[in-house]
Amino acid sequence: MPDKTSKYLNRELSWLEFNQRVLDEAFDPNVPLLERVKFLAISASNLDEFFRVRVGGLRLMQQQGVTRPDPSGHTPTQQLKLIDKRVRQLQRSQYACYFDELVPQLAKSGIQHVHPKDLNDSQLTFLERFFNSEVFSVLAPMAVTGRDDFPLLPNESLNVCVRLKVNRDPGDDHAPVDRFVVIPLGMALARLITLPSDGGLAYVLMEDVVAMFVDRYFEGERVKECVPFRITRNADMALQEEGASDLTAQMESLLQERRQAECVRLEMPMSVTKKTVRFLLDSLAVETSNVYHHPGPLDLSELFSLASRSGFDDLKAESWSPQRSTQIVPGASMFETIADHDVLLCHPYESFEPVVQFIEEAADDPDVLAIKQTLYRTSRDSRIVNALLRAAEDGKHVTAIVELKARFDEARNIRWARTLEEAGAQVIYGVQRLKTHAKCCIVVRREPEGIRRYVHFGTGNYNEATARLYSDISLLTCDDELGSDAVAFFNAATGASQPQAFRKLEAAPLGLRDAVLELIESEIERKRQGQKAAITAKLNALVDPAIIDALYAASQQGVPVRLNIRGICCLRPGVKGISENIEVVRIVDRYLEHARVISFHHGGDPRVFISSADWMPRNLDRRIELLTPVEDPVCRDRLIKILDCYFLDNVKATVLQSDGTQRRLTSDDAEPYRVQEELYQMVCRSVLESEQERLTEFVPHRAPGK
């Protein structure tokens, strides 16, 4: 439980509560079975990243002797103790979900995890052939004696530790009793091995197959123990940018450093013996407190591969195919469409295709002079990057800010950056000391009336794959002032200069926080004057103390504050005299909520914004971010309607309590309302109405030239 005397909730514990909410979906019997499996895998994958980054960072602070408390009043050491307790609770819940809920129901549905003792004769014969033909040839055992010759194992890889009895001379009392061998399982072979069966799907785990036949590696020796283990390394490495003559080389060095970083978590089965535990602790320089014993398979994130297998459609969620936007006439040029009206897209309910089409049209249009774009995270085979390559090769002026410091996407971004440079694009490797997290693309086009700037602003990455999984907002506009601001923003970022004063945009780390604080203060002042006031925000995280304090001040003046915060929230809602007018809702459903949308009542003339930034110090102080106003009345009103929907959900919503726990909302007697489903149905209804209008519209074919 957090310290109730603090104004703020601890950010790490708040994140763990979010991950508990993800895990709750795996327990929910109303969720299709393989979707429940997926949520369990997501909760495990989330926890891996939490250890890599958050726990790793706190351990570095602890080693450096940092005792400064965080805003919630906890030192790094205190936070690590609280984290350890909560993580162990969370992991117990994960394995309870796996064993008590999912495994039995999967077996009933024809998907069976077979243990070695339950294999039938044909399955044993199959596995023996499989081991001899593939496993024995691919996997290589590595003899180790301790820390000095222990192999450099990849982060979060699964490995097997084998303990062998040493055949020593009878008179040699000083010779070791046991010797150890490590077998890295690698990624070349699948973790889940499909078995022959009479129906459905039967599978066995690779580590079990290795354990069954491991003696083949050690003819004439006695295998005393064979157990899997997994390490998690610290990935919170600092990049020394000052004076770096080659940022690419620095990033590649950082990636190498990350591969060799200290182990912050060692996972093993509960069945492991004390001898093997001690050997691994000594060899990996891991403290006992960093060991996590599990009652079942390590690395539950591997269940992604089970949930995504073809077949078993009745155990999966109904497909929600992204719909076309009714704001865009099929077959029409994106330039003609945007010149006619602003376009607001709500992904993934509405397809991301218009954004891709916008950039591809720009690449192939002879009237386009320049394309300027930020790239933070992209897909593996990115159509957007390929369009930029074509544009550069065609002689267009292409400027790309490729953020090399995008954590865990550094290697891919380095490859894209080099490829773009080779094609003739001007590539900026981010901005020193800051991450470029803004989502913006400018197309400069020569038209009969003169030069026109078309701009895309988004809350999500230029990634066609995640655009089908993340809930985000896109705005396409040729508003002259927004275009002018966007160009000024790019020129400042690429030219290492102070940007000119923006007309409509706000950018971090310059004035974004101040702009938000001014907007909050404006609502407070209107309330003081007896006017109606209201603040509504949808974000991924709320951590910044200054903004939290401003929201507390608004609550104390009677301003109703509605917050939809997907993940971390350090604000305490519902505290008498401080935040009783603040409501914090969280939605966890089939899509990852990722959009940042903010609305201020503003005396009945709402001011509505989309943003790339969460309200966190890292976004407001250490990243380049954008806050973009949505002023077109149609787009603005639609965005307000979308925002309001998030506070009607009584199926997938939880309400944050003042102690940091969450209370699940239920429909009870009310009609069930699931916001993601409703947003999808709204888009489908819009498409259907649009098609019906087209059917009743008579459009004559005319002779050419008429």
Indicate whether 582 belongs to any domain. yes
Q: What single letter denotes the amino acid at residue 200?
A: G
> Among candidates 286, 254, 265, 262, which has minimal Cα distance to 51?
265
- The separation between CA 335 and the C-alpha centre of its own chain, rounded to angstroms, equals 32
Q: What is residue 255's predicted lDDT score, i.e. its pLDDT?
A: 46
Q: State the average pLDDT over residues 72-96.
A: 96
Task: Tell me, yes or no, whether 308 and 416 share the same domain.
Answer: no
What band does 427 get if pLDDT is binned at 50, 70 and 90? confident
- Look up residue 634 and give its two tokens: 């149609």
For residue range 670-692, list pLDDT tens digits in order. Answer: 899 999 999 999 999 999 998 88
Range of the domain at 50: 15-109+288-316
Indicate whether 704 belongs to any domain. no
- CA dist., res. 55 & res. 235, Å (int): 9
> Are the C-beta atoms of 335 and 361 separated by less than 8 Å?
yes
The domain boundary residue, chosen from 501, 535, 560: 501
Q: What is residue 172's predicted lDDT score, i.e. its pLDDT?
A: 59
Task: Tell me, yes or no, whether 342 and 312 share the same domain.
Answer: no
- CA dist., res. 647 & res. 584, Å (int): 9
Q: State the average pLDDT over residues 174-181.
A: 80
Indicate whether 700 belongs to any domain. no
Task: Tell me, yes or no, whether 512 and 584 share the same domain.
Answer: yes
> Among candidates 311, 355, 357, which has minimal Cα distance to 333?
357
Q: CA separation (Å) from 75 to 54, 63, 69, 86?
A: 14, 12, 4, 16
Instruction: Give residues with Cβ within 8 angstroms of 81, minimum separation 6.
Output: none
- Look up residue 386 and give its two tokens: 């390929």
Q: Which helix (H) or strand (E) holds 163?
A: strand 158-165
- CA dist., res. 216 & res. 587, Å (int): 51
Indicate whether 44 belongs to any domain. yes
Q: What is residue 256's predicted lDDT score, i.e. its pLDDT?
A: 52
- CA dist., res. 32 & res. 25, Å (int): 10
Task: Tell me, yes or no, whether 465 and 532 share the same domain.
Answer: no
Indicate whether 7 belongs to any domain. no
- The separation between CA 470 and the C-alpha centre of its own chain, rounded to angstroms, equals 9
Residue 210 belongs to domain with CATH number: 3.30.1840.10
SS3 label, residue 600: strand
> Are the C-beta atoms of 238 and 148 separated by less than 8 Å?
no
> Among candidates 571, 530, 570, 533, which has minimal Cα distance to 551?
571
> Among candidates 472, 525, 448, 208, which has minimal Cα distance to 350?
472
224 Rama sector, left if φ>0, alpha if ψ -120 to 50, beta otherwise: alpha
Q: What single letter denotes the amino acid at residue 687?
A: V
What band does 3 get if pLDDT is binned at 50, 70 and 90? low
Q: State the average pLDDT over residues 306-331.
A: 93
Task: Tell me, yes or no, whether 301 and 170 share the same domain.
Answer: no
Q: What is residue 491's predicted lDDT score, i.e. its pLDDT?
A: 86
Task: Tell me, yes or no, whether 384 and 491 share the same domain.
Answer: yes
Indicate whether 697 belongs to any domain. no
Residue 628 buriedness (CB in 10 A; 0-12 / 13-18 / 19+): buried
Q: What is residue 638's predicted lDDT score, i.e. its pLDDT?
A: 97
Task: Tell me, yes or no, whether 464 and 357 share the same domain.
Answer: yes
Q: Average the pLDDT over each of 49-63, 138-152, 164-178, 425-439 and give the range with the smallest value.
A: 164-178
Q: Annotated catalytic, 174?
A: no
Task: Tell me, yes or no, whether 67 and 178 share the same domain.
Answer: no
Backbone phi, then psi, for 282, in 5-degree steps? -70, -40
> Are the C-beta atoms of 325 and 351 separated by less than 8 Å?
yes
- The separation between CA 595 and the C-alpha centre of its own chain, rounded to angstroms, equals 12
Per annotation, catalytic residue among 437, 456, 594, 601: 437
- CA dist., res. 1 & res. 654, Å (int): 18
Q: CA separation (Å) from 395 to 371, 398, 452?
A: 11, 9, 19
What band does 476 get if pLDDT is binned at 50, 70 and 90? very high
Q: Which helix (H) or strand (E) holds 343?
A: strand 343-347
> Among candidates 579, 32, 532, 631, which has minimal Cα distance to 319?
32
Residue 27 belongs to domain with CATH number: 1.20.58.310
- CA dist., res. 538 & res. 675, Å (int): 13
Number of domains composing the chain: 4
- Look up residue 271 and give its two tokens: 């069945």
Indicate whether 279 belongs to any domain. yes
SS3 label, residue 127: helix
432 or 480, greater pLDDT? 480
Task: Tell me, yes or no, whether 558 and 597 share the same domain.
Answer: yes
* pTM of the predicted model as reported, rounded to 2 decimal places: 0.91
Task: Tell me, yes or no, whether 20 and 166 share the same domain.
Answer: no
Alpha helices, H only, 403-511: 410-423, 480-495
Q: State the average pLDDT over residues 302-316.
A: 93
- The separation between CA 349 and the C-alpha centre of its own chain, rounded to angstroms, equals 19
For residue range 448-473, list pLDDT tens digits in order. Answer: 999 999 999 999 999 999 999 999 99
- CA dist., res. 501 & res. 664, Å (int): 45
Residue 640 belongs to domain with CATH number: 3.30.870.10
Q: What is residue 247's predicted lDDT score, i.e. its pLDDT?
A: 42
- CA dist., res. 43 & res. 446, Å (int): 49
Three-state secondary structure of 256-279: HHHHCCCEEEEEEECCCCHHHHHH
Indicate whether 680 belongs to any domain. yes
Q: CA separation (Å) from 308 to 107, 552, 644?
A: 17, 44, 33
> Among candidates 618, 587, 590, which has minimal Cα distance to 680?
590
Q: State the average pLDDT over residues 509-515.
A: 94
> Among candidates 243, 622, 248, which has minimal Cα distance to 427?
248
- CA dist., res. 378 & res. 587, Å (int): 25
Task: Tell me, yes or no, whether 528 and 477 share the same domain.
Answer: no
Tell me the β-bridge partners of 223: 164
Task: Tell me, yes or no, whether 565 and 642 share the same domain.
Answer: yes
Q: What is residue 251's predicted lDDT score, i.e. its pLDDT?
A: 42
